[in-house]
Amino acid sequence: MRLPTIFILIATILLTIIFMQNTGEVKVTILFGEFYMPKLVIFTGIFVAAFIMGVIMGRPRKSRRVSDFDRHEDTDAPPAGKTMSDEDRDYIS
């Protein structure tokens, strides 16, 4: 077995043990409401939320490529339309 597979297997076993040992109910207070829910539901919700945030934060970002023309403004460049000589224009025509 490869190392990542062993790590995932051990992590899954540990999470299962933790979830099964914490099945009791806890009082949850949100703003003005109070209710009871199993610890298993809270742990699962936190695990799912953390996984989703990790996937979102771990995505590669789209990089913006700035071309060389945008980075450097050449003031020595000839004006547009004046880049060819009359001889060149006659040759092309």
Residue 25's DSSP bridge partners are 38
Report the C-alpha gap between 49 and 66 in whole angstroms.
35
Residue 35's DSSP bridge partners are 28
Output the pLDDT for position 36. Answer: 92
Q: Are 26 and 46 in contact (CB under 8 A)?
A: no
The average confidence (pLDDT) of the chain is: 81
| pLDDT (tens digit per residue) in 15-57 | 888 878 887 888 988 888 998 998 888 888 888 999 999 888 8
* Domain range list for the chain: 10-57
Q: Are 20 and 12 in contact (CB under 8 A)?
A: no
